[in-house]
Amino acid sequence: MSVHRKLMGARVRFLETELKKSGLNKFAGYSYFELGDFIPEIQKIFHEVDLCGVVSYSAEYATLTITDTEDGTVIVITSPMADANLKGAHPIQNLGAVESYQRRYLWMTAMEIVEHDAIDSSDTATKKAEAQPVQQPARPPAVIVGKDGEFQMKIELMPKGSLQDWLGIINDSVEMLIGQTHSQKDVKQIFLRNKQLFEEVKKQDVDFFKQLTAKLSVALKQFPEA
């Protein structure tokens, strides 16, 4: 079979899976697939049909190269790079967010994963926000969490501005750190070194806290027990 026929077969097999969307945009009111929701299943299918997908980045483009490991034929999917300007985030955190989003969109394009129209939802949510301004909770002075170190997040302990922006920065930072782990010990360090921050997240939004801890649990299972 050609790489195109194998990819089409992989898409059909993927449609037969029952996946749950773990991402939730509370502001716009819709759920969405995160990388961890579909990547394990895609990798399993690709392995079974002898396909391999590799994501790479340049200054201009993010690229997903899908190769037939039997005959070497390839399909290349590209997406223009864009900047992320998350409030309060360091440059490396913004880079990690961009790469995470690009990986997600490239794989969604490759597998023809259909999702909610985020642009239309954002327009609707903006109109609702204009009609009913959101009251931000009172907060103490901002605190920088912890010291410099591996798996340490330098994020203000309390939201500075929008709570959703603050939670979004934490979500992207956790995903970036998970991408740097090589063992269960590394994954556990993400929580231990940022325990105070996670406790504050739990106070602000219990459901979001559960999503973060679920991501760490999935990451733990990717490595053998020490």
Read off the pLDDT of each residue in 83-106 and give the average, rounded to a whole number. 76
Q: Is the pLDDT of residue 205 over 70?
A: yes
Tokens found for residue 122: 């954002």
Report whether pLDDT(90) > 80: no
Separation CA 115–CA 95 (nearest Å): 24
Structure-token pair, residue 69: 């490991």
**CA torsion sign, 160 to 161 to 165 to 167?**
positive
Q: Pick 161 or 62 by higher pLDDT.
A: 62
pLDDT tens, position by position, 46-86: 999 999 999 999 988 999 999 999 999 999 999 888 776 66
For the cut 80, the answer to whether the pLDDT of residue 108 exceeds it is yes
Amino acid at position 215, single letter: K
**What are the extents of the domains in the chain?**
1-118, 139-226
For residue 35, CA distances in Å to 58, 59, 86, 187 come to: 21, 22, 19, 17
Q: Is the pTM of this model over 0.85?
A: no
Least confident of 29-43, 75-89, 126-140, 158-172: 126-140
Give yes or no for a contact between 155 and 197, defined as CB atoms under 8 angstroms apart: yes
Q: By C-alpha distance, which of 93, 176, 162, 95 is closest to 129? A: 162
Average pLDDT over residues 124-146: 44
Long-range residue pairs from 62-70, CB within 8 A, at least 24 positions apart, any chain: 62/99, 62/102, 62/103, 62/106, 63/106, 64/106, 64/107, 64/109, 64/110, 66/3, 66/7, 66/110, 67/3, 68/1, 68/2, 68/3, 68/6
CATH number of 1-118: 3.30.390
Nearest to 76 by CA among 88, 63, 87: 63
| For range 191-219, the mean pLDDT | 88
Question: For residue 147, what pLDDT is reported?
Answer: 42
Cβ neighbours of residue 189 closer than 8 Å, sequence gap 6 or more: 150, 151
- Rounded distance between C-alpha atoms, residue 55 and residue 71, angstroms: 20
Tell me the pLDDT of the chain averaged across its residues: 78
The pLDDT of residue 141: 34
SS3 155: coil
